[in-house]
Amino acid sequence: MSSGSKSHYFYKRMQQLKQKNAETKGVRTATSFDEEFKRMEDMTRHMEKAYTRIPDKLDQYLQPDPTKRMSKMVLKNKDTAVTEDMIAKENLCKMGQAMIDAGYTFGEETTLGCYYLKAGTSQQEITKSWLAFQYEANRMYLKPMELLVEDLKHIKKNLNKIQQDRLYLDSTKTRKEKSRQDIKNYDPSVVQHLQKKAESLQENLEIKAGNVQSQMEQFFYELEDDQILMLQNFIATVC
């Protein structure tokens, strides 16, 4: 960034801060844009807060910690053991299969074996439905919501930039209006007085310049030839 660009940036930023400070203290007259910007900022902030919360809560619901919620369902016998590692979400189908295997181990004709078979089959069906729902929810809700949140962040960033430009614009309009009022309220007699004073100063300077020129001409007229030669040599040496 060039020095000119830096100077313009800092000047513009200073005007924005002055304008914001004036608005905060209530000394600036509100413009027609203020209410609309306030409405857009509030709407964007509320939308971002709401839509950010939805994916987080949905993700927590779809991806709980199964080792804590299902730890009481660990089943063990001499031939089959369902460990906590198998209860992890990606292995829920294996848990159902382990129940089915336990059912066959105890025997289909036994009450315990029959319940294990039904529970294992149900667990597999529930797991498949859960994973399918999770996939569809991620595709249909989570991803679009995440994109929407990113868009809202982009909108919020642009709103902030527009707000800064609005502050600078209002500051410029305020300074322009103040200058216009100063000119309007300026006394014409003061302008005439300053104009006459400037003309008088100009006349005095012209008179002084004429006097200096006359003195210089008289000085050179009175010089002898050898003095003029010495002066010329001195000037040539200096220059």
Residues 12 and 124 in one domain: yes
In 3D space, the residue among 112, 108, 81 whose CA is nearest the CA of residue 97 turns out to be 81
pLDDT for 90-100, tens place per residue? 567 777 788 88
Residues 223 and 112 in one domain: no
CA separation for the pair 164, 29 (Å, rounded): 17
Q: Which residue stretches of the chain have pLDDT < 70?
A: 1-38, 41, 44, 46-91, 176-188, 190-191, 193-195, 198, 205, 209, 212-213, 216-239
Residues 155 and 69 in one domain: yes
CA separation for the pair 161, 171 (Å, rounded): 15
Residues 71 and 160 in one domain: yes
Residues 64 and 159 in one domain: yes
C-alpha pair distances (Å), 154 with each of 140, 148, 158, 160, 208: 22, 10, 6, 10, 68
Residues 29 and 112 in one domain: yes
Residues 140 and 26 in one domain: yes
Residues 112 and 216 in one domain: no
Number of domains in the chain: 2
Residues 37 and 132 in one domain: yes
- The amino acid present at 178, given as its one-letter code, is K
Residues in the chain, total: 239
Residues 112 and 179 in one domain: yes
Q: Which domain holds residue 212?
A: 189-238
**Predicted model pTM:** 0.36
Q: What is the per-residue pLDDT for 73?
A: 40
